[in-house]
Amino acid sequence: MSPSQVNGRRILQAVARRAMRERGLEPDFSPAAEAEAREHETPGTDSDPSIRDLRGLLWCSIDNDDSRDLDQLTVAEALADGVVKVLVAVADVDCLVKKGSALDAHARTNTTSVYTAAEIFPMLPEKLSTDLTSLNPGVERLALVMEMSVAPSGVVTASTVYRARVFNHAQLAYDAVAAWLEDGAPPPPALRAVKGLEEQLRLQDKTAQCMRAVRVERGALRLETLEAKAVFDGDTLAALRPNLKNRARELIEDFMIGANGATALYLEEKKLPALRRVLRSPERWERIVALAADLGEHLPEQPDPRALGEFLARRKAADPLRFPDVSLSVVKLLGSGEYAVQFPGRRAEEHFGLAVKDYTHSTAPNRRFPDLAAQRLLKAGIAGQPSPYGDEELVALAAHCTEQEDDAAKVERQVRKSAAALLLSTRIGKRFDAVVTGASTKGTWVRILDPDAEGKLQKGFEGLDVGDRLKVELVHTDVERGYIDFVRVR
């Protein structure tokens, strides 16, 4: 093991901080923001009598094993005729982070928490995001609740939003819950300790699967990309391990999509604007068609999410091992999502990848600024007040959030590449199976699986396009810049 690998965390932290500053992101809080955070000693309170007391419901959180900023809780209740009432509680961050404050200014600058391989750069100080505004187990918190009525078919037939007091009865992790739901493993201790919670989660899982089936029928894309997470042994970078989809992740994903839809509909009903999240028609549909043809499949000439979804389902069934490669190629060709302001009464754009028309970001206000802005808009609607944001301010905010989120993703990707370069630095001359993930005038990029890493093809790229498979040889790495260079071999 090289000395640089032993000091991997420190090296990657320096890479992350430099990359953030280069892209206009602030890795540290201002003295004013830190001073404001110090002033907060207790969670937010509000004596408004309209705030509902829902602490007695069997709320729980499901997140990553190491997550400490808990933004959402979920609970479900079986009603008559097979209808299920689904409630999603979202942490009331606005109760402590006021519009125009120094904390708000930092959050508005970065617009998102930045999750790099070596260090997390939170949008809000950890005193708030992992404590005072986090829906931690065993404590009472203020929340905004998105309530949905889900028919036996999985269709959301009604929804509303209101404020409530909630109580997290169990902090659960995706992998342990998925092992219990999918593989028959024993329930996690925190789940087993709460009477009735096992039945509650099985109801949530069944309802989420029905909701997903409806979206898939409408053309939602079931993509599975392998996003690697750095694994450290102390400060030594030991491996890159992919985060795999499972039933617990899908449960939360489906409920959050529903909650974000409920937010959009509520703001429209209250005649308030919204920061919608949209993915327009694919930028390179013709290449997606060609990719399908290379695999013996046919797609229509015009973008069709349902046809694409059916193609992806067939590929997963035919070759599950290589399906993440196909998914990654499609993701690259679809292009990036963006924020756009939806003004009341105007036609809304559909999110191509999710097959939903009414969609905003509102369920992660500790981690994303658009969600915090949505929360303020929702609270204005609940209170019968005008929008806290002017129209021009929202338009500028949408563009800024899109740009900063893209830049944050580039920082995260750059640090992942630096981590991969660090792991690969002792494997120069080794050969790997690869798939083309990017092809343009700027260059051709390929991905290998062990470790999960992406690099540039320096030789032999002629005639290649996204989705093509080939064998490559590693010829160079540069940890500081995150460069991994390959050449094609026959």
How many residues are present in the chain? 490
Task: Please give the backbone phi and psi of residue 463, each rounded to the nearest 5 degrees, phi first.
Answer: 80, 0
Task: Please give the backbone phi and psi of residue 404, each rounded to the nearest 5 degrees, phi first.
Answer: -70, -35
Report residue 330 as tokens: 């499609």
- Tell me the average pLDDT across 269-273: 96
Express the helix, strand and coil content of the chain in percent, nearest 5 each: 40, 25, 35
322 neighbors 250 (Cβ within 8 angstroms): no
> Using one digit for the tens of pLDDT, what is the confidence trace for 103-148?
999 999 999 999 998 899 999 999 999 999 999 999 999 999 999 9
Report the distance separating Cα 188 and Cα 190, nearest Å.
6
Report residue 478 as tokens: 């540069």
For residue 80, the 8-state DSSP code is G
One-letter amino acid of 145 = V
In the predicted structure, residue 6 carries a pLDDT above the cut 70 = no
Report residue 50 as tokens: 């309209």
One-letter amino acid of 39 = E
- Tell me the average pLDDT across 15-38: 96
Report the distance separating Cα 457 and Cα 460, nearest Å.
7
Q: Residue 218, class by beta-carbon neighbours within 10 Å (0-12 exposed, 13-18 middle, 19+ buried)?
A: middle
The reply to whether omega before 451 is within 30° of 0 (cis) is: yes
pTM for this model (two decimals): 0.86
Which of 161, 381, 353 has the alpha carbon at shortest distance from 274?
381
| Per-range mean pLDDT, top range of 313-327, 330-344, 402-416 | 402-416
Report the distance separating Cα 89 and Cα 365, nearest Å.
12
pLDDT of residue 123: 97
In the predicted structure, residue 241 carries a pLDDT above the cut 80 = no
Report residue 389 as tokens: 């944001």
In the predicted structure, residue 239 carries a pLDDT above the cut 90 = no
| Per-range mean pLDDT, top range of 47-51, 57-61, 223-227, 460-464 | 57-61
Give the distance between the most distant pair of CA atoms in the chain.
Answer: 72
